[in-house]
Chains A and B, each alone.
Chain A
Amino acid sequence: MVDLLLTRYNYIAAFLLIAGGLYMVIGDRNFVKKVIGMNLFQTGIFLFFITAAFVEVDGMTGAPPVITDGVDLYVSPLPHVLILTAIVVGVSLTAVALTLIIRIYREYGTLREDVLREMDTDD
């Protein structure tokens, strides 16, 4: 168990971020905090991909995937490229989410989900 914690700490960190982010999305009443939780959730998945690219052979760790002289072992470049795309997607999602949040705030003057629900039942 201790061995697992010591050698796989990067995976554990990624999944703590994923779980924490998911909890914020579900548990938090404030829309901005929900979006922040969504970002944490995605960042956890990005970390998972990046850490999966890591290569270690006979105690030698992979170099960053940029070809240089005298280096034979590189980490897998594919996850890095993929995550670059996924980060762009994540940023656009956050932008759209914040735009919608601004519209909701202008209209209702609040960002709390429970307050909004009460206003909804009034009319």
Chain B
Amino acid sequence: MTDAIVLAIVVPIVAAVLTLLLGLRFDNVGWPMAVLATATQVGLTAVIGAAVLENGRVTYELAGFAPPAGIELVADTLSAPVALLVAVVSLAVLAYARTSGPHGNMFYIVYLLLVGGLAGVTLTGDLFNMYVFLEITGLAAYALVATGDTAKSAIAGLKYLVVGTIGASLFLLGVGYAFLATGTLNMADLAQRLGDVAAYDSRLVLASFALIVAGLAVKVALFPVHSWQPDAYQSSPDSVSIFISALVSTVAAYALGRILFSVFTPAFFDAVPMARTVLVHAAAVSILAGSTLAVLQQDVKRMLAYSSVAQFGMVVAAFAMMNELAAVGGVIHLVGHAIMKGGLFAAAGVIAAFTGARRIDDYAGLAGRAPVVAASFAVLAFAMVGVPPAVGFVGKWYIAFGAIESGTWVVAAVILASTLLTLAYFARIVERMYFRPAERTAAGDSAVGAATDGGEPPVSPGMVAVVVGAAVAAVVLGFFGSGIEAFLDPFLTEVFA
């Protein structure tokens, strides 16, 4: 039963190696192998979820070395939903990538490595192990961004690589400080020794906290250090931007939440109120700046990228407020954002493949030409704004109540302001899709350009299914807000007891 945890990390990585070997003999082995591996992954994470539901916390000692000396894999009610999310989204994006491309075995090898890295970050219980998996995730993501057909994607990939490496290295330095202060790297062990062996307000612990948070902030793409993210999302192929926008920053934000809740624990924030204040305000700035920058964009994928900066600011603010309601809201928004943003990127990709429209002005009159995709886009957009009963509403609702409960009024106000800004940038698109006739010049030209390029891939039923599925999931998941809270309960009582 507990073997499922280690298999969830091993299966995609072994599948990647197998694909490499089989690829020497066969040409099109990549996609079937990736489907096989991610389908297995969905099954394994479901088994983990069932085990966690039964026991609350499942652990696995790698190679039989007991923690704290050995590396430990942990699944609890926080990591199990994220692991399931990773598996399901990876499988769904494959349905999209089948026709959309990029084609070829190499793409699927890197794709599987990325799935393995993401599963590793989610399930590890060891700080250094987390660094290694973050770097595996990073390496695969840099390579995937650079698979775009223009040379610009190579520049975006390199930029992402340099900034991402600096972020991960800062994280490593912070882990080093934590190790110096306590002599252990196991998260559960660290949580006990911080505060005991090393005082919370000692310089080593403070430096460790600052460096780890700064490093992960780069990976999550919070406001001042977000600059790699819009380029990376815009210039990567559509299937890659769906996958990366839905999972890579999400898992980094999960890692930040895991470290705040399970390593530093609320006791650290009680001892060092400054840490909380700084983090909450940095996140608030990120929410406002991301939303404002999104309003200013003309390119749809770029706008969606800046929107992510704002949404992740909200998740980080929720985690930093350190109360139960906000934590529930943060997790719901984390999972919900992955589904909504992945779906929006998928919709943008389908629309671009169908009409060649990449800019907001090109979306005029789209509802007449592509009613299903346009409707899904509109549903996902309103879910993102936070119209009930969609999941975007439930997450924000919990976060706002958590903010009011802990007296962090600035976050409550910022959430309201950002909701209005989110409405502003999505309403532009919905208004153009439904209430404006297609402008012959703009949309027509780019459609012709796309046809002569021959670069735009055809639209398959699988691609549309991903968009519609995401829209349905975004609405249906909204009805399970209290269910998610009940599922998270063992984790919350452990952290906030």
Q: Using CB atoms and an 8 Å cutoff, list the residues of chain A in contact with chain B.
A: 18, 22, 25, 31, 34-35, 38, 41-42, 45, 48-49, 52, 78-79, 82, 85-86, 89, 92-93, 96-97, 100-101, 103-104, 107-108, 116, 120
Complex interface: chain A residues within 8 A of B158 (CB): 31, 97, 100-101, 104
Bits for B156-186, please: 1 = Cβ < 8 Å to A, else 0: 0110011001100100110010011000010
CA distance A43 to B139 in the complex (A): 18
Query: Which residue of chain A has its CB nearest to the CB of B172?
Result: A45
Whole-angstrom distance between the Cβ of B163 and the nearest chain A Cβ: 9
Residue numbers in B under 8 Å from A31 (CB-CB) = 158
Question: In the complex, what residue of chain B is closest to A85 when comparing beta carbons?
Answer: B132
The interface residues of chain A, by DSSP majority, are classed as helix
Once the chains bind, are A93 and B151 in contact (CB under 8 Å)?
Answer: no
**In the assembled complex, which residues on chain A have CB atoms less than 8 Å from the CB atom of B165?**
38, 42, 93
B142 at interface (Cβ–Cβ under 8 A)? yes
Closest beta carbon of chain A to B125's beta carbon, Å: 16
| Cβ contact within 8 Å between B128 and A103 | no
Q: How far is the CA of A52 from the CA of B166 in the complex (A)?
A: 21
Instruction: From known contacts A48-B173, A52-B180, A108-B151, infer whether A100 and B166 are also in contact, taking CB-CB under 8 Å.
Output: no
- Prevailing SS type, chain B contact patch: helix
B residues near A, CB below 8 A? 128, 131-132, 135, 138-139, 142-143, 146, 151-152, 154-155, 157-158, 161-162, 165-166, 169, 172-173, 176, 179-180, 185
Q: Are A82 and B146 in contact (CB under 8 A)?
A: no
Instruction: For A49, list chain B residues within 8 Å (CB).
Output: 176
By a CB distance below 8 angstroms, the chain B residues around A100 are 142, 146, 154, 157-158, 161
Contacts of B169 in A (CB 8 A): 41-42, 45
- Considering the complex, give the chain A residue whose CB is closest to the CB of B136: A89
A96 touches B172 (CB 8 A): no
Are B143 and A103 in contact, CB atoms less than 8 angstroms apart?
no
Specify which of A25, A42, A100, A108 lies most central, judged by the most chain B CB atoms within 10 Å of its CB: A100
A25 to B164 alpha-carbon distance, docked (Å): 12
Contact present for B151 and A96 (CB under 8 Å): no
Q: Which residues of B contact A89 (CB under 8 A)?
A: 132, 135, 139
CA distance A41 to B151 in the complex (A): 27
Out of A45, A78, A96, name the residue touching B173 (CB < 8 Å): A45
CB distance from B169 to the nearest CB of A (A): 5
Closest 5 CB pairs of A and B: A107-B151, A103-B154, A100-B158, A89-B135, A100-B154
A104 touching B151 by the CB < 8 A rule? Answer: yes
Q: Are B176 and A25 in contact (CB under 8 A)?
A: no
Question: Chain B contacts of A92 at CB under 8 A?
Answer: 139
Q: Which chain B residues border A78 with CB–CB below 8 Å? A: 179, 185
5 other contacts beyond A45-B172, A93-B135, A107-B151, with CB at 8 A cut-off?
A42-B165, A79-B176, A85-B132, A100-B146, A104-B158
The contact of B162 among A35, A45, A120, by CB within 8 Å, is A35
| Interchain nearest-CB distance for A81 vs B (Å) | 9
